[in-house]
């Protein structure tokens, strides 16, 4: 039987992980919308999308993070329908020119499907809605 215990220098530091996630979210620019999974990947924590939610939920009040630019898979707003948080996220995204229909962020036309499905290194730049846009 193998001893699989981690040494202290190999164990993950939760504070460092949360800080890495928050740094990724802080770097998101106006007009960028990414998924929880992509934030985790960029923070060096692949497969830890739920940890991204925890990092955003537990961020100190003094921290200003553009949390509204992080959505669920497929561009879905993950807060319960009709909740103040869901309404606030949609409102903030629309104020930045992001096209939100119902509880989803519209996916960009001509997006690289491989990049969307397999997690390209860059964020998906969402198409800003235009006046008269009839999509």
- For residue 134, with 0-12 CB atoms within 10 Å meaning exposed, 13-18 middle and 19 or more buried, which class applies? exposed
pLDDT in tens, the chain (135 residues): 444 444 344 456 889 999 999 999 999 999 899 999 999 999 999 999 999 999 999 999 888 999 999 999 889 999 999 999 999 999 999 999 999 998 999 755 555 444 555 554 444 444 444 444 433
* Backbone angles phi and psi of 92, in degrees to 5: -65, -40
Going from the N-terminus, what domains does the chain have, and what CATH number goes with each? 14-110 (1.10.10.10)
Rounded to two decimals, what is the model's pTM? Answer: 0.72
């Amino acid at each position: 039987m193998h001893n699989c215990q981690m040494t202290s220098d190999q164990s993950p530091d939760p504070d460092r992980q949360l800080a890495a996630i928050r740094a990724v979210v802080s770097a998101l620019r106006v007009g960028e919308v990414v998924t929880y999974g992509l934030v985790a990947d960029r923070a060096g924590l692949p497969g830890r999308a739920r940890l991204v939610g925890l990092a955003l939920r537990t961020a100190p009040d003094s921290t200003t993070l553009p949390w509204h630019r992080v959505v669920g898979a497929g561009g879905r707003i993950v807060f319960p329908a009709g909740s103040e948080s869901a309404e606030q996220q949609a409102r903030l995204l629309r104020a930045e020119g992001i096209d939100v229909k119902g509880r989803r962020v519209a996916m960009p036309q001509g997006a690289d499907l491989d990049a969307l499905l397999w997690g390209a290194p860059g964020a998906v730049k969402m198409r800003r809605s235009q006046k008269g846009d009839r999509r």
